[in-house]
Amino acid sequence: MRLEDKLYLIGFKVDEVGGSHLAIKDKSTCLVCEMKQCLYVCPCGVYEIDEIKNEISINYDACVECGTCRVSCDDIDWRYPRGGFGVSYKFG
Amino acid sequence: MSDIKYDVAIVGAGPAGLSAAIVLAKAGVNVIVIERGRFPGAKNVMGGVFYTDCMKGIVEKFPNGAPVERHIVEQRMWMIDDESYVGFGHKNAKFDKEPYNCHTVFRAQFDKWLAKQATDAGALIVNQTVVTEPIMKDGKVVGIKTGRPEGDIKANCVIVADGVNSLMAKSLGFRTKLKKESVALAVKEIIGLDEKVINDRFNVTGGQGVTIEMTGSLFKGAEAMAFLYTNKKSVSLGVGMIIEDMIEHKINPNELIESLKKHPAISPLIAGGETKEYLAHMIPEGGYNDMPQLVGDGIMIAGDAATMVNAVHREGSNLAITSGKLAAQTYLEAAEEGDFSSASLSSYVDKLQESFVMSDLKKYKALPKLLQKNRQLLDKYPKLMNDAAFELLTVDGVSKQEKQKHIWKNMKQQIGFTNMLKDLYKIWRSVG
């Protein structure tokens, strides 16, 4: 089953106004990062390489707030989404 | 919110926060619970097994009226390899008698129900609100700041129960950062199946259920822990891995669970099922040695936020419920003296020490480090067991004596006899 189809099953309320609750503290760090683990450890594929800008892009609207990226990389500024936004599981 | 002063403010409406809220509200304490999700449970995930015993003193006649799925009558443990497993199981009619030992639950539904018990008892729960930091005065915690305008909440005491990521414990300086070598990520799918199909496939009837715990390397040679739990009309299939291992072995969690779904022992059990939800959650597996400071002036920490997880026995929510209850009892005692200082609240730690919570965490305190340093315990041994079982059970003209010799030779080559004895000794020291 494709990840895209799984993400479709999850309830999200995206904070269009507040924007991303995730950020990269220093993007120049990514350029010299060899593992680039954010690209594969995230269960929801939030982090992707933006080939044009040559940087990591963040699809925060697919984030389930697990915290794996935060534990994996010190360069990620990790916050909770604003109250009521983000993932909302049906089963849990 | 700023005008009212509460007796107790609780951060997080999970099992720890809600059990504290229920005990406090029942005792007539003015308690407020702040939850960032749209409803209590909206962001809460676990494998799915909830133990009954911890509900004593929280909810009478549990599980009456509670949204539980199946009571567990059989537990299977598998050492898993790429296309095989060696297993052990225990099914007992005693598990089929009330009060049941444990049930599978869905946390989004269970926590919502538990929150209802708290509000019925008189607690105030405010949803959709993020707690940003503690309010400090003269080095003491006197309340919490929220993301709402004028959202400061003053309280005599704050109970922090904001889960594994606990930004509160971090901002209080009570814990150093979470370590990638002692935190696991687990991903899970709820796979819908017909109730009768589940009953047939797992050899159960009525409300009975089965759990399967798996350990071994099932993807890219990295050691993983997996589980399959039966619900009424679905199974919860999940797999977890220490984050450091995921990084090292370049493992994507979705690929990991997809490979588990294709495993020949799993795939027939979920065949024809339809995935209803995909979930991810971290588990703090560092145990006793990773616990943060638990008490400060005007503050106590409970549940996952305090690393109260017994990974060996897949217990967490019962430790959370118990710690929340003990934190509440500590508050009630402290309130009699009107003293919420760290010294007064330190009886929370004493209570935890006297309970199974700290006793169990201490018992296994050496295990996380042992497994960190000795990955072969959960990786090579399951493989060797599977190879040995296959060889012994295959009839191919080779004598049993020859087979045994070969198995021993293989084991000695892979690990070495002395190392095997050392490993046995280490495990015995850690869990015995």
Interface probe with A: pick from B11, B18, B38, most Cβ of A within 10 Å: B38
* Burial of B116 (C-beta count, 10 Å sphere; 0-12/13-18/19+): middle
Q: What pLDDT, on a 0 to 100 scale, did the predictor assign at position B221? A: 84
pTM for this model (two decimals): 0.95
Using a pLDDT cut of 70, give the percent of chain B over it: 99
B367 vs B232, higher pLDDT: B232
Chain pair A-B, CB pairs under 8 angstroms: 137
Q: What pLDDT, on a 0 to 100 scale, did the predictor assign at position B3? A: 64
* Average per-residue pLDDT for chain B: 94
Nearest C-alpha neighbor of B10 from the set B170, B128, B142, B157: B157
CA angle B418, B78, B226 (to 5 degrees): 105
User: Would the CB atoms of B280 and A68 count as touching at under 8 Å?
Assistant: yes
Distance from B225 to chain A by nearest Cα, in Å?
Answer: 16
- Confidence class for position B372, pLDDT limits 50, 70, 90: confident
The complex scores an ipTM of 0.97
Average pLDDT over residues B245-258: 97
Chain A CA closest to residue B12: A83
Is the model's pLDDT at B91 over the cut of 60?
Answer: yes
> Contact at 8 Å (CB) between B334 and B344?
yes
DSSP string, B281-332: EEEE--GGGG----EETTEEE-GGGGT--BGGGTB-HHHHHHHHHHHHHHHH
- Confidence class for position B370, pLDDT limits 50, 70, 90: confident
Distance CA B208, CA B214 (A): 20
Using a pLDDT cut of 90, give the percent of chain B over it: 85
B168 vs B219, higher pLDDT: B168
User: Would the CB atoms of B107 and A92 count as touching at under 8 Å?
Assistant: yes
Counting as low any pLDDT under 70, the low residues of chain A are none
User: Would the CB atoms of A43 and B243 count as touching at under 8 Å?
Assistant: no
Is the model's pLDDT at B366 over the cut of 90?
Answer: no
Interface probe with B: pick from A14, A63, A66, A76, most Cβ of B within 10 Å: A66
Residue among A35, A68, A91 minimizing CB distance to B243:
A68
Interface probe with A: pick from B254, B275, B276, most Cβ of A within 10 Å: B254
- Confidence class for position B432, pLDDT limits 50, 70, 90: low
Chain A residues touching residue B247 (CB < 8 angstroms): 35, 37, 41, 72
Chain B residues touching residue A84 (CB < 8 angstroms): 36-38, 127-129
Cβ-based neighbour number of residue B315 at 10 Å: 20
Is the model's pLDDT at B253 over the cut of 90?
Answer: yes
Residue among B107, B243, B261 minimizing CB distance to A41:
B243
Distance from A15 to chain B by nearest Cα, in Å?
Answer: 12
Average pLDDT over residues B350-355: 98
User: Would the CB atoms of A87 and B179 count as touching at under 8 Å?
Assistant: no
- Confidence class for position B417, pLDDT limits 50, 70, 90: confident
Tens-place pLDDT, residues B164-218: 999 999 999 998 889 999 999 999 999 999 999 999 999 999 899 999 999 998 8
Which of B287-301, B310-324, B331-345, B413-427 is predicted least confidently?
B413-427
Average pLDDT over residues B359-375: 85
